[in-house]
Structure 1
Amino acid sequence: MTNVNEAVKSRYGYAMTVLRGLVKTDFKLRYQGSFLGVAWSVLRPLMVFAVMYVVFARFLKISDGTPTYPVVLLCGVVSWQFVTETVTMGLRSIVDRGDLLRKVHFPNVIVVVSASLGALISLAINFVVVLVFAFFSHVQFTWEVLWLPLNLIQLYVLALSIAMICATCYVYFRDIAHIWDVVQQILFYCMPIMYPLSYVLTHAGTYGELVARVEVLNPIAQCIQDIRHNFLAPATTPTVWNMFSNPWAKAFPIAVTLLLAWFGVWLFRRNSSKFAEVI
Protein backbone atom coordinates (compact mmCIF):
# COMPACT_ATOMS: atom_id res chain seq x y z
CA MET A 1 0.00 0.00 0.00
CA THR A 2 2.86 2.33 0.85
CA ASN A 3 4.45 1.69 -2.53
CA VAL A 4 1.17 2.55 -4.28
CA ASN A 5 0.88 5.82 -2.35
CA GLU A 6 4.46 6.72 -3.19
CA ALA A 7 3.87 5.95 -6.87
CA VAL A 8 0.75 8.13 -6.95
CA LYS A 9 2.54 10.99 -5.20
CA SER A 10 5.55 10.78 -7.51
CA ARG A 11 3.34 10.84 -10.60
CA TYR A 12 0.59 13.26 -9.61
CA GLY A 13 1.99 15.09 -6.57
CA TYR A 14 3.45 18.00 -8.54
CA ALA A 15 0.29 18.34 -10.65
CA MET A 16 -1.90 18.43 -7.52
CA THR A 17 0.35 21.07 -5.95
CA VAL A 18 0.01 23.24 -9.07
CA LEU A 19 -3.76 22.67 -9.11
CA ARG A 20 -4.17 23.74 -5.48
CA GLY A 21 -2.08 26.85 -6.11
CA LEU A 22 -4.08 27.83 -9.19
CA VAL A 23 -7.43 27.30 -7.46
CA LYS A 24 -6.40 29.49 -4.51
CA THR A 25 -4.98 32.18 -6.79
CA ASP A 26 -8.00 32.23 -9.12
CA PHE A 27 -10.48 32.42 -6.26
CA LYS A 28 -8.59 35.28 -4.58
CA LEU A 29 -8.09 37.26 -7.80
CA ARG A 30 -11.75 36.86 -8.76
CA TYR A 31 -12.82 39.23 -5.99
CA GLN A 32 -9.61 41.23 -5.55
CA GLY A 33 -10.30 44.93 -5.07
CA SER A 34 -13.98 44.28 -4.35
CA PHE A 35 -15.40 45.74 -1.15
CA LEU A 36 -17.67 42.73 -0.50
CA GLY A 37 -15.19 40.15 -1.76
CA VAL A 38 -16.33 36.53 -1.65
CA ALA A 39 -19.82 37.66 -0.62
CA TRP A 40 -20.45 38.40 -4.31
CA SER A 41 -20.48 34.65 -4.99
CA VAL A 42 -23.71 34.57 -2.96
CA LEU A 43 -25.09 38.03 -3.76
CA ARG A 44 -24.95 37.66 -7.54
CA PRO A 45 -27.27 34.62 -7.83
CA LEU A 46 -29.51 36.11 -5.12
CA MET A 47 -29.90 39.29 -7.15
CA VAL A 48 -30.70 37.34 -10.32
CA PHE A 49 -33.16 35.24 -8.34
CA ALA A 50 -34.83 38.35 -6.89
CA VAL A 51 -35.33 39.88 -10.35
CA MET A 52 -36.70 36.63 -11.79
CA TYR A 53 -39.01 36.05 -8.86
CA VAL A 54 -40.47 39.56 -8.97
CA VAL A 55 -40.88 39.64 -12.76
CA PHE A 56 -41.99 36.08 -13.48
CA ALA A 57 -43.63 34.88 -10.27
CA ARG A 58 -45.20 38.12 -9.04
CA PHE A 59 -46.02 40.11 -12.19
CA LEU A 60 -46.40 37.41 -14.84
CA LYS A 61 -47.77 34.87 -12.33
CA ILE A 62 -45.55 32.06 -13.67
CA SER A 63 -45.30 29.47 -10.91
CA ASP A 64 -45.85 25.80 -10.16
CA GLY A 65 -48.49 26.79 -7.62
CA THR A 66 -46.59 25.58 -4.55
CA PRO A 67 -45.10 27.57 -1.64
CA THR A 68 -41.71 25.98 -2.33
CA TYR A 69 -41.46 27.50 -5.83
CA PRO A 70 -39.16 30.42 -4.78
CA VAL A 71 -36.51 28.06 -3.40
CA VAL A 72 -36.88 25.78 -6.45
CA LEU A 73 -36.30 28.85 -8.64
CA LEU A 74 -33.24 29.84 -6.59
CA CYS A 75 -31.84 26.30 -6.91
CA GLY A 76 -32.20 26.48 -10.69
CA VAL A 77 -30.50 29.88 -10.87
CA VAL A 78 -27.59 28.69 -8.71
CA SER A 79 -27.12 25.51 -10.78
CA TRP A 80 -27.25 27.37 -14.10
CA GLN A 81 -24.81 30.04 -12.93
CA PHE A 82 -22.36 27.28 -11.99
CA VAL A 83 -22.48 25.99 -15.58
CA THR A 84 -22.03 29.44 -17.14
CA GLU A 85 -19.25 30.40 -14.73
CA THR A 86 -17.37 27.14 -15.32
CA VAL A 87 -17.56 27.43 -19.11
CA THR A 88 -16.88 31.19 -19.25
CA MET A 89 -13.85 31.01 -16.96
CA GLY A 90 -12.60 27.73 -18.43
CA LEU A 91 -13.00 28.98 -21.99
CA ARG A 92 -10.38 31.72 -21.50
CA SER A 93 -8.19 29.86 -19.02
CA ILE A 94 -5.63 28.45 -21.46
CA VAL A 95 -5.08 31.77 -23.24
CA ASP A 96 -5.04 33.75 -19.98
CA ARG A 97 -2.42 31.37 -18.54
CA GLY A 98 -0.33 31.33 -21.71
CA ASP A 99 2.78 32.79 -20.04
CA LEU A 100 2.61 30.16 -17.28
CA LEU A 101 2.21 27.31 -19.79
CA ARG A 102 5.33 28.43 -21.66
CA LYS A 103 7.46 28.69 -18.51
CA VAL A 104 6.31 25.78 -16.33
CA HIS A 105 5.73 22.21 -17.44
CA PHE A 106 2.55 20.61 -16.10
CA PRO A 107 -0.58 19.02 -17.63
CA ASN A 108 -2.45 21.82 -19.40
CA VAL A 109 -5.82 20.42 -18.34
CA ILE A 110 -5.05 21.59 -14.80
CA VAL A 111 -5.67 25.18 -15.89
CA VAL A 112 -9.23 24.38 -17.02
CA VAL A 113 -9.90 22.18 -13.98
CA SER A 114 -8.75 24.95 -11.63
CA ALA A 115 -11.28 27.34 -13.18
CA SER A 116 -14.03 24.74 -12.74
CA LEU A 117 -13.09 24.09 -9.11
CA GLY A 118 -13.33 27.82 -8.38
CA ALA A 119 -16.88 27.75 -9.73
CA LEU A 120 -17.53 24.58 -7.70
CA ILE A 121 -16.54 26.38 -4.50
CA SER A 122 -19.06 29.12 -5.32
CA LEU A 123 -21.69 26.45 -5.99
CA ALA A 124 -21.05 24.85 -2.58
CA ILE A 125 -21.46 28.23 -0.86
CA ASN A 126 -24.65 28.92 -2.80
CA PHE A 127 -26.12 25.52 -1.94
CA VAL A 128 -25.75 26.38 1.74
CA VAL A 129 -27.88 29.45 1.01
CA VAL A 130 -30.42 27.27 -0.85
CA LEU A 131 -30.53 24.93 2.14
CA VAL A 132 -31.25 27.84 4.48
CA PHE A 133 -34.07 29.04 2.19
CA ALA A 134 -35.38 25.47 2.05
CA PHE A 135 -35.70 25.28 5.84
CA PHE A 136 -37.52 28.62 5.98
CA SER A 137 -39.81 27.45 3.15
CA HIS A 138 -40.64 24.29 5.13
CA VAL A 139 -39.35 21.95 2.42
CA GLN A 140 -40.03 18.32 3.29
CA PHE A 141 -36.85 16.41 2.47
CA THR A 142 -37.18 12.79 1.32
CA TRP A 143 -34.82 9.85 0.87
CA GLU A 144 -34.38 10.96 -2.76
CA VAL A 145 -31.96 13.61 -1.57
CA LEU A 146 -29.41 10.76 -1.49
CA TRP A 147 -29.30 10.99 -5.31
CA LEU A 148 -28.15 14.62 -5.13
CA PRO A 149 -24.37 13.90 -5.16
CA LEU A 150 -24.76 11.95 -8.41
CA ASN A 151 -26.74 14.82 -9.94
CA LEU A 152 -24.04 17.31 -8.97
CA ILE A 153 -21.30 15.06 -10.34
CA GLN A 154 -23.10 14.84 -13.67
CA LEU A 155 -23.57 18.63 -13.75
CA TYR A 156 -19.87 19.14 -13.00
CA VAL A 157 -18.79 16.67 -15.70
CA LEU A 158 -21.08 18.41 -18.20
CA ALA A 159 -19.78 21.89 -17.39
CA LEU A 160 -16.13 20.78 -17.39
CA SER A 161 -16.55 18.91 -20.69
CA ILE A 162 -18.05 21.95 -22.41
CA ALA A 163 -15.32 24.14 -20.89
CA MET A 164 -12.58 21.86 -22.25
CA ILE A 165 -14.10 21.90 -25.73
CA CYS A 166 -14.52 25.68 -25.70
CA ALA A 167 -11.05 26.27 -24.22
CA THR A 168 -9.46 24.21 -26.99
CA CYS A 169 -11.39 26.03 -29.70
CA TYR A 170 -10.68 29.45 -28.14
CA VAL A 171 -6.95 28.94 -28.53
CA TYR A 172 -7.44 28.90 -32.31
CA PHE A 173 -10.66 30.91 -32.74
CA ARG A 174 -11.34 33.86 -30.42
CA ASP A 175 -14.86 34.10 -31.86
CA ILE A 176 -15.81 31.16 -29.63
CA ALA A 177 -16.23 33.57 -26.70
CA HIS A 178 -18.87 35.58 -28.58
CA ILE A 179 -20.57 32.41 -29.83
CA TRP A 180 -20.77 31.06 -26.27
CA ASP A 181 -22.36 34.32 -25.08
CA VAL A 182 -25.15 33.85 -27.62
CA VAL A 183 -25.49 30.09 -27.01
CA GLN A 184 -25.83 30.47 -23.25
CA GLN A 185 -28.63 32.99 -23.72
CA ILE A 186 -30.45 30.60 -26.05
CA LEU A 187 -29.96 27.70 -23.64
CA PHE A 188 -31.19 29.78 -20.72
CA TYR A 189 -34.54 30.55 -22.36
CA CYS A 190 -34.89 27.04 -23.78
CA MET A 191 -34.63 25.41 -20.36
CA PRO A 192 -37.04 25.44 -17.41
CA ILE A 193 -34.96 27.68 -15.15
CA MET A 194 -36.93 30.91 -14.80
CA TYR A 195 -40.20 29.05 -15.40
CA PRO A 196 -41.29 25.62 -14.08
CA LEU A 197 -41.60 22.73 -16.51
CA SER A 198 -45.15 22.17 -15.28
CA TYR A 199 -46.00 25.63 -16.67
CA VAL A 200 -44.95 24.48 -20.16
CA LEU A 201 -47.06 21.35 -19.82
CA THR A 202 -50.19 23.32 -18.96
CA HIS A 203 -49.77 26.57 -20.94
CA ALA A 204 -48.08 25.61 -24.23
CA GLY A 205 -51.25 24.37 -25.88
CA THR A 206 -51.37 21.25 -28.01
CA TYR A 207 -47.61 20.91 -28.17
CA GLY A 208 -46.98 21.55 -24.48
CA GLU A 209 -46.04 17.98 -23.64
CA LEU A 210 -43.81 17.68 -26.71
CA VAL A 211 -41.98 20.93 -25.92
CA ALA A 212 -41.50 19.90 -22.28
CA ARG A 213 -40.12 16.50 -23.29
CA VAL A 214 -37.67 18.06 -25.76
CA GLU A 215 -36.50 20.52 -23.10
CA VAL A 216 -35.84 17.86 -20.50
CA LEU A 217 -33.77 15.79 -22.96
CA ASN A 218 -31.17 18.56 -22.78
CA PRO A 219 -28.65 17.10 -20.29
CA ILE A 220 -28.16 20.45 -18.52
CA ALA A 221 -31.92 20.83 -18.06
CA GLN A 222 -32.14 17.18 -17.01
CA CYS A 223 -29.47 17.77 -14.33
CA ILE A 224 -31.14 20.91 -12.99
CA GLN A 225 -34.55 19.24 -12.90
CA ASP A 226 -33.07 16.20 -11.14
CA ILE A 227 -31.38 18.43 -8.56
CA ARG A 228 -34.63 20.26 -7.91
CA HIS A 229 -36.60 17.02 -7.77
CA ASN A 230 -34.30 15.08 -5.47
CA PHE A 231 -33.30 17.99 -3.25
CA LEU A 232 -36.45 20.10 -2.87
CA ALA A 233 -39.68 19.11 -4.61
CA PRO A 234 -40.02 15.47 -5.71
CA ALA A 235 -43.82 15.72 -5.89
CA THR A 236 -44.01 18.77 -8.17
CA THR A 237 -40.87 18.68 -10.35
CA PRO A 238 -41.14 16.67 -13.58
CA THR A 239 -37.96 14.92 -14.72
CA VAL A 240 -36.87 12.77 -17.61
CA TRP A 241 -37.34 9.75 -15.34
CA ASN A 242 -41.09 10.28 -14.88
CA MET A 243 -41.89 11.94 -18.22
CA PHE A 244 -40.72 9.03 -20.39
CA SER A 245 -41.52 5.35 -20.23
CA ASN A 246 -38.98 4.42 -22.91
CA PRO A 247 -35.66 3.49 -21.19
CA TRP A 248 -33.68 4.70 -24.22
CA ALA A 249 -35.23 8.15 -23.90
CA LYS A 250 -34.40 8.21 -20.18
CA ALA A 251 -30.80 7.27 -20.94
CA PHE A 252 -30.38 9.89 -23.67
CA PRO A 253 -29.18 12.82 -21.45
CA ILE A 254 -26.73 10.52 -19.66
CA ALA A 255 -25.41 9.27 -23.00
CA VAL A 256 -24.94 12.86 -24.23
CA THR A 257 -23.06 13.69 -21.02
CA LEU A 258 -20.69 10.75 -21.49
CA LEU A 259 -20.23 11.60 -25.17
CA LEU A 260 -19.36 15.22 -24.36
CA ALA A 261 -16.92 14.08 -21.67
CA TRP A 262 -15.18 11.69 -24.08
CA PHE A 263 -15.05 14.27 -26.87
CA GLY A 264 -13.83 17.02 -24.54
CA VAL A 265 -10.96 14.88 -23.22
CA TRP A 266 -10.06 13.61 -26.70
CA LEU A 267 -10.08 17.08 -28.30
CA PHE A 268 -8.12 18.67 -25.46
CA ARG A 269 -5.45 15.94 -25.34
CA ARG A 270 -5.06 15.99 -29.11
CA ASN A 271 -4.31 19.74 -29.16
CA SER A 272 -2.79 20.44 -25.74
CA SER A 273 0.81 19.94 -26.89
CA LYS A 274 0.39 22.82 -29.39
CA PHE A 275 -1.16 25.34 -27.02
CA ALA A 276 2.08 27.03 -25.94
CA GLU A 277 3.16 27.49 -29.57
CA VAL A 278 -0.18 28.81 -30.84
CA ILE A 279 -0.72 31.22 -27.93
Structure 2
Amino acid sequence: MSKFMKTVENRYHYSLVVLRELVRTDFKLRYQGSFLGIAWSVLKPLMLFCVMYVVFAKFLRMSDGTPTYPVVLLLGISTWQFVEEATSVGLRSVVDRGDLLRKIHFPNYIVVVSSTIGALISYAINLVVVLVFALFSHVQFTWRVLLLPLNFIELYILSLGIALLLSSMYVYFRDIAHLWDVLKQVLFYAMPVIYPLGMVMDNQSLQPFGKLIAQMQLLNPIAQTVQDIRHNLIAPETQPTIWTISGHVWMGLIPVALSVFIFWLGIYVFRKNNRKFAEVM
Protein backbone atom coordinates (compact mmCIF):
# COMPACT_ATOMS: atom_id res chain seq x y z
CA MET A 1 0.00 0.00 0.00
CA SER A 2 2.80 2.41 0.92
CA LYS A 3 4.57 1.59 -2.37
CA PHE A 4 1.38 2.35 -4.30
CA MET A 5 0.89 5.68 -2.49
CA LYS A 6 4.52 6.61 -3.14
CA THR A 7 4.12 5.81 -6.84
CA VAL A 8 0.97 7.96 -7.04
CA GLU A 9 2.70 10.81 -5.19
CA ASN A 10 5.73 10.71 -7.49
CA ARG A 11 3.56 10.60 -10.59
CA TYR A 12 1.31 13.51 -9.64
CA HIS A 13 3.70 15.58 -7.51
CA TYR A 14 4.32 18.18 -10.22
CA SER A 15 0.60 18.46 -11.02
CA LEU A 16 -0.26 18.93 -7.34
CA VAL A 17 2.35 21.67 -6.96
CA VAL A 18 0.98 23.51 -10.01
CA LEU A 19 -2.60 23.04 -8.76
CA ARG A 20 -1.76 24.43 -5.33
CA GLU A 21 -0.06 27.52 -6.80
CA LEU A 22 -2.91 28.19 -9.22
CA VAL A 23 -5.51 27.94 -6.47
CA ARG A 24 -3.48 30.27 -4.25
CA THR A 25 -2.95 32.80 -7.06
CA ASP A 26 -6.59 32.76 -8.19
CA PHE A 27 -7.87 33.28 -4.67
CA LYS A 28 -5.51 36.22 -4.10
CA LEU A 29 -6.33 37.87 -7.43
CA ARG A 30 -10.07 37.44 -6.94
CA TYR A 31 -10.23 40.15 -4.27
CA GLN A 32 -7.09 42.11 -5.15
CA GLY A 33 -7.69 45.85 -4.92
CA SER A 34 -10.94 45.34 -3.02
CA PHE A 35 -11.31 47.20 0.29
CA LEU A 36 -13.17 44.33 1.98
CA GLY A 37 -11.13 41.60 0.28
CA ILE A 38 -12.05 38.04 1.23
CA ALA A 39 -15.06 39.30 3.19
CA TRP A 40 -16.92 39.57 -0.14
CA SER A 41 -17.05 35.77 -0.32
CA VAL A 42 -19.37 35.96 2.69
CA LEU A 43 -21.10 39.27 1.96
CA LYS A 44 -22.25 38.38 -1.57
CA PRO A 45 -24.45 35.39 -0.60
CA LEU A 46 -25.61 37.20 2.53
CA MET A 47 -26.75 40.21 0.51
CA LEU A 48 -28.48 37.95 -2.00
CA PHE A 49 -30.07 36.03 0.88
CA CYS A 50 -31.43 39.26 2.39
CA VAL A 51 -33.00 40.30 -0.92
CA MET A 52 -34.47 36.84 -1.55
CA TYR A 53 -35.76 36.56 2.00
CA VAL A 54 -37.51 39.94 1.94
CA VAL A 55 -39.04 39.40 -1.52
CA PHE A 56 -40.02 35.74 -1.35
CA ALA A 57 -40.49 35.06 2.36
CA LYS A 58 -41.97 38.38 3.50
CA PHE A 59 -43.77 39.82 0.48
CA LEU A 60 -44.69 36.68 -1.47
CA ARG A 61 -45.03 34.56 1.69
CA MET A 62 -42.97 31.65 0.38
CA SER A 63 -42.10 29.62 3.45
CA ASP A 64 -42.39 26.12 4.83
CA GLY A 65 -43.83 27.56 8.03
CA THR A 66 -40.89 26.58 10.25
CA PRO A 67 -38.38 28.75 12.16
CA THR A 68 -35.53 27.07 10.29
CA TYR A 69 -36.66 28.29 6.85
CA PRO A 70 -34.29 31.33 6.78
CA VAL A 71 -31.33 28.99 7.39
CA VAL A 72 -32.65 26.57 4.78
CA LEU A 73 -32.93 29.46 2.32
CA LEU A 74 -29.39 30.68 3.08
CA LEU A 75 -27.98 27.17 2.70
CA GLY A 76 -29.75 26.69 -0.64
CA ILE A 77 -28.50 30.03 -1.98
CA SER A 78 -24.93 29.31 -0.84
CA THR A 79 -24.98 25.86 -2.45
CA TRP A 80 -26.34 27.24 -5.72
CA GLN A 81 -23.73 30.03 -5.63
CA PHE A 82 -21.02 27.36 -5.50
CA VAL A 83 -22.41 25.53 -8.54
CA GLU A 84 -22.82 28.79 -10.44
CA GLU A 85 -19.30 30.04 -9.63
CA ALA A 86 -17.58 26.69 -10.24
CA THR A 87 -19.21 26.23 -13.65
CA SER A 88 -18.99 29.85 -14.83
CA VAL A 89 -15.34 30.35 -13.87
CA GLY A 90 -14.48 26.82 -14.97
CA LEU A 91 -16.10 27.46 -18.36
CA ARG A 92 -13.60 30.26 -19.13
CA SER A 93 -10.61 28.77 -17.32
CA VAL A 94 -8.90 27.16 -20.32
CA VAL A 95 -9.27 30.23 -22.55
CA ASP A 96 -8.30 32.64 -19.75
CA ARG A 97 -5.17 30.56 -19.04
CA GLY A 98 -4.35 30.09 -22.70
CA ASP A 99 -1.03 31.98 -22.54
CA LEU A 100 0.06 29.94 -19.54
CA LEU A 101 -0.87 26.64 -21.20
CA ARG A 102 1.20 27.53 -24.27
CA LYS A 103 4.28 28.54 -22.25
CA ILE A 104 4.38 25.94 -19.47
CA HIS A 105 3.82 22.23 -19.88
CA PHE A 106 1.39 20.77 -17.37
CA PRO A 107 -1.92 18.86 -17.65
CA ASN A 108 -4.61 21.19 -19.01
CA TYR A 109 -7.29 19.89 -16.68
CA ILE A 110 -5.50 21.50 -13.72
CA VAL A 111 -6.73 24.99 -14.68
CA VAL A 112 -10.34 23.76 -14.55
CA VAL A 113 -9.83 21.92 -11.27
CA SER A 114 -8.15 24.98 -9.71
CA SER A 115 -11.12 27.19 -10.62
CA THR A 116 -13.59 24.77 -9.04
CA ILE A 117 -11.45 24.44 -5.90
CA GLY A 118 -11.46 28.24 -5.60
CA ALA A 119 -15.25 28.14 -5.65
CA LEU A 120 -15.16 25.29 -3.13
CA ILE A 121 -13.10 27.41 -0.71
CA SER A 122 -15.68 30.21 -0.91
CA TYR A 123 -18.44 27.65 -0.34
CA ALA A 124 -16.66 26.33 2.76
CA ILE A 125 -16.51 29.88 4.15
CA ASN A 126 -20.22 30.32 3.44
CA LEU A 127 -21.01 27.05 5.22
CA VAL A 128 -19.36 28.43 8.37
CA VAL A 129 -21.76 31.40 8.16
CA VAL A 130 -24.69 28.99 7.67
CA LEU A 131 -23.64 27.02 10.75
CA VAL A 132 -23.53 30.23 12.82
CA PHE A 133 -27.06 31.09 11.68
CA ALA A 134 -28.15 27.52 12.41
CA LEU A 135 -26.84 27.72 15.98
CA PHE A 136 -28.66 31.00 16.57
CA SER A 137 -31.83 29.47 15.11
CA HIS A 138 -31.56 26.52 17.53
CA VAL A 139 -31.32 23.92 14.76
CA GLN A 140 -31.29 20.40 16.18
CA PHE A 141 -28.54 18.50 14.37
CA THR A 142 -29.05 14.77 13.84
CA TRP A 143 -26.91 11.79 12.89
CA ARG A 144 -27.64 12.63 9.25
CA VAL A 145 -24.82 15.19 9.30
CA LEU A 146 -22.54 12.16 8.88
CA LEU A 147 -23.96 11.80 5.35
CA LEU A 148 -22.91 15.32 4.34
CA PRO A 149 -19.44 14.34 3.01
CA LEU A 150 -21.17 12.11 0.44
CA ASN A 151 -23.43 15.01 -0.56
CA PHE A 152 -20.49 17.39 -0.92
CA ILE A 153 -18.50 14.86 -2.98
CA GLU A 154 -21.46 14.37 -5.31
CA LEU A 155 -21.95 18.14 -5.61
CA TYR A 156 -18.27 18.71 -6.40
CA ILE A 157 -17.85 15.99 -9.02
CA LEU A 158 -21.08 17.15 -10.67
CA SER A 159 -19.86 20.77 -10.82
CA LEU A 160 -16.41 19.68 -12.00
CA GLY A 161 -17.94 17.49 -14.71
CA ILE A 162 -20.06 20.40 -15.98
CA ALA A 163 -17.03 22.73 -15.85
CA LEU A 164 -14.87 20.28 -17.84
CA LEU A 165 -17.59 19.84 -20.43
CA LEU A 166 -18.31 23.56 -20.79
CA SER A 167 -14.64 24.60 -20.86
CA SER A 168 -13.99 22.14 -23.70
CA MET A 169 -16.88 23.52 -25.76
CA TYR A 170 -16.02 27.16 -24.95
CA VAL A 171 -12.64 26.81 -26.66
CA TYR A 172 -14.45 26.16 -29.94
CA PHE A 173 -17.80 27.92 -29.43
CA ARG A 174 -17.80 31.16 -27.41
CA ASP A 175 -21.60 31.31 -27.56
CA ILE A 176 -21.62 28.56 -24.94
CA ALA A 177 -21.03 31.22 -22.25
CA HIS A 178 -24.24 33.08 -23.20
CA LEU A 179 -26.24 29.87 -23.49
CA TRP A 180 -25.04 28.73 -20.07
CA ASP A 181 -26.02 32.08 -18.53
CA VAL A 182 -29.57 31.58 -19.77
CA LEU A 183 -29.66 27.92 -18.75
CA LYS A 184 -28.46 28.81 -15.23
CA GLN A 185 -31.43 31.11 -14.78
CA VAL A 186 -33.80 28.38 -15.99
CA LEU A 187 -32.23 25.85 -13.63
CA PHE A 188 -32.33 28.26 -10.68
CA TYR A 189 -36.06 28.89 -10.91
CA ALA A 190 -36.86 25.30 -11.88
CA MET A 191 -35.32 24.06 -8.61
CA PRO A 192 -36.64 24.53 -5.05
CA VAL A 193 -33.88 26.91 -3.97
CA ILE A 194 -35.80 30.08 -3.10
CA TYR A 195 -39.15 28.39 -2.64
CA PRO A 196 -39.90 25.29 -0.51
CA LEU A 197 -40.63 22.04 -2.34
CA GLY A 198 -43.84 21.75 -0.33
CA MET A 199 -45.28 24.65 -2.33
CA VAL A 200 -45.11 22.44 -5.41
CA MET A 201 -46.44 19.27 -3.77
CA ASP A 202 -49.29 21.05 -1.97
CA ASN A 203 -50.20 23.52 -4.73
CA GLN A 204 -53.90 23.03 -5.46
CA SER A 205 -53.58 24.28 -9.03
CA LEU A 206 -51.08 21.49 -9.78
CA GLN A 207 -53.11 18.65 -8.28
CA PRO A 208 -53.09 15.75 -8.73
CA PHE A 209 -49.65 16.12 -10.31
CA GLY A 210 -47.94 18.19 -7.60
CA LYS A 211 -46.00 15.29 -6.10
CA LEU A 212 -45.02 13.98 -9.54
CA ILE A 213 -43.71 17.41 -10.57
CA ALA A 214 -41.70 17.61 -7.34
CA GLN A 215 -40.19 14.21 -8.08
CA MET A 216 -39.29 15.33 -11.60
CA GLN A 217 -37.61 18.43 -10.15
CA LEU A 218 -35.50 16.31 -7.82
CA LEU A 219 -34.33 14.09 -10.66
CA ASN A 220 -32.16 17.09 -11.53
CA PRO A 221 -28.89 16.14 -9.73
CA ILE A 222 -28.23 19.77 -8.69
CA ALA A 223 -31.66 20.05 -7.08
CA GLN A 224 -31.24 16.65 -5.47
CA THR A 225 -27.90 17.57 -3.86
CA VAL A 226 -29.26 20.91 -2.63
CA GLN A 227 -32.21 19.17 -0.97
CA ASP A 228 -30.06 16.37 0.43
CA ILE A 229 -27.66 18.87 2.04
CA ARG A 230 -30.59 20.80 3.53
CA HIS A 231 -32.23 17.59 4.72
CA ASN A 232 -29.11 16.17 6.35
CA LEU A 233 -27.79 19.39 7.89
CA ILE A 234 -30.77 21.53 8.87
CA ALA A 235 -34.24 20.03 8.74
CA PRO A 236 -34.76 16.31 7.98
CA GLU A 237 -38.44 16.54 9.03
CA THR A 238 -39.42 19.45 6.76
CA GLN A 239 -37.06 19.12 3.77
CA PRO A 240 -38.24 16.32 1.47
CA THR A 241 -35.77 14.62 -0.85
CA ILE A 242 -36.10 12.24 -3.78
CA TRP A 243 -35.41 9.43 -1.30
CA THR A 244 -38.32 10.39 0.97
CA ILE A 245 -41.04 11.29 -1.54
CA SER A 246 -40.51 8.67 -4.25
CA GLY A 247 -40.67 5.51 -2.15
CA HIS A 248 -38.35 3.77 -4.61
CA VAL A 249 -34.62 3.35 -4.07
CA TRP A 250 -33.94 3.28 -7.81
CA MET A 251 -35.45 6.74 -8.25
CA GLY A 252 -33.12 8.07 -5.60
CA LEU A 253 -30.19 6.60 -7.50
CA ILE A 254 -31.10 8.29 -10.81
CA PRO A 255 -29.70 11.77 -9.94
CA VAL A 256 -26.63 10.12 -8.39
CA ALA A 257 -26.08 8.14 -11.58
CA LEU A 258 -26.56 11.34 -13.62
CA SER A 259 -23.90 13.11 -11.53
CA VAL A 260 -21.41 10.30 -12.15
CA PHE A 261 -22.30 10.22 -15.86
CA ILE A 262 -21.83 14.00 -16.26
CA PHE A 263 -18.48 13.74 -14.46
CA TRP A 264 -17.37 10.90 -16.76
CA LEU A 265 -18.63 12.74 -19.85
CA GLY A 266 -16.76 15.90 -18.83
CA ILE A 267 -13.51 13.95 -18.41
CA TYR A 268 -14.03 12.09 -21.69
CA VAL A 269 -14.75 15.21 -23.77
CA PHE A 270 -11.93 17.18 -22.15
CA ARG A 271 -9.33 14.44 -22.65
CA LYS A 272 -10.41 13.94 -26.25
CA ASN A 273 -9.97 17.61 -27.16
CA ASN A 274 -7.39 19.07 -24.77
CA ARG A 275 -4.38 18.47 -27.07
CA LYS A 276 -5.94 20.75 -29.67
CA PHE A 277 -6.70 23.61 -27.27
CA ALA A 278 -3.39 25.44 -27.83
CA GLU A 279 -3.83 25.30 -31.63
CA VAL A 280 -7.41 26.55 -31.55
CA MET A 281 -6.71 29.38 -29.11
RMSD over aligned CA atoms reads 1.1
One-letter identity of the residue aligned with 1:250: G
Shift of 1:272: 0.7
Q: Distance in 2 between matches of 1:53 and 1:135?
A: 19
Structure 1 residue corresponding to 2:262, chosen from 260, 263, 279: 260
Matched ranges for 1:52-67 at <5 A: 52-67=52-67
Shift of 1:245: 1.8
One-letter identity of the residue aligned with 1:109: Y
- Equivalent position SS for 2:52: helix
Worse overlay, 7-16 or 258-267? 7-16
Alpha-carbon displacement from aligned partner over 1:210-266 (angstroms, at most 9, x marks no partner) = 221111111000000000000000000000001112222121101111110111110
One-letter identity of the residue aligned with 1:247: V
Alpha-carbon displacement from aligned partner over 1:20-39 (angstroms, at most 9, x marks no partner) = 00000001111111111110
Alpha-carbon displacement from aligned partner over 1:14-58 (angstroms, at most 9, x marks no partner) = 110100000000011111111111100000000110001000000
One-letter identity of the residue aligned with 1:35: F
One-letter identity of the residue aligned with 1:58: K
One-letter identity of the residue aligned with 1:191: M
2:212 counterpart residue number: 210
Alpha-carbon displacement from aligned partner over 1:172-213 (angstroms, at most 9, x marks no partner) = 000000000000000000000000101111125312212211
- Equivalent position SS for 1:236: coil
One-letter identity of the residue aligned with 1:233: A
Shift of 1:5: 4.7
Unaligned 5+ runs, structure 2: none
Alpha-carbon displacement from aligned partner over 1:114-167 (angstroms, at most 9, x marks no partner) = 000000000100000000000000000000111011101100111110000000
- Equivalent position SS for 1:163: helix
2:8 counterpart residue number: 8
Shift of 1:10: 2.6
1:244 counterpart residue number: 246
Q: Distance in 2 between matches of 1:63 and 1:2?
A: 53
Matched ranges for 1:10-159 at <5 A: 10-159=10-159
Worse overlay, 3-12 or 39-48? 3-12
Q: Distance in 1 between matches of 2:71 and 2:248?
A: 31
Q: Distance in 2 between matches of 1:152 and 1:220?
A: 11
1:230 counterpart residue number: 232
Worse overlay, 133-142 or 241-250? 241-250
Note closer, same or farther for the CA distance 1:5–1:210 as it changes in structure 2 (3 Å cut): closer
- Number of aligned positions between the proteins: 279
Note closer, same or farther for the CA distance 1:236–1:278 as it changes in structure 2 (3 Å cut): same
- Equivalent position SS for 1:53: helix
Identity score, percent: 62
Q: Distance in 2 between matches of 1:168 and 1:227?
A: 29
Unaligned 5+ runs, structure 1: none
1:160 counterpart residue number: 160
Q: Distance in 1 between matches of 2:104 and 2:262?
A: 29
- Equivalent position SS for 1:139: coil
Moved over 3 A (4+): 1-6
Shift of 1:2: 6.0
TM-score under structure 1 length normalisation: 0.98
Worse overlay, 127-136 or 205-214? 205-214
- Equivalent position SS for 1:120: helix
2:279 counterpart residue number: 277
Note closer, same or farther for the CA distance 1:140–1:100 as it changes in structure 2 (3 Å cut): same
TM-score under structure 2 length normalisation: 0.97
- Equivalent position SS for 1:195: coil
- Equivalent position SS for 2:202: helix
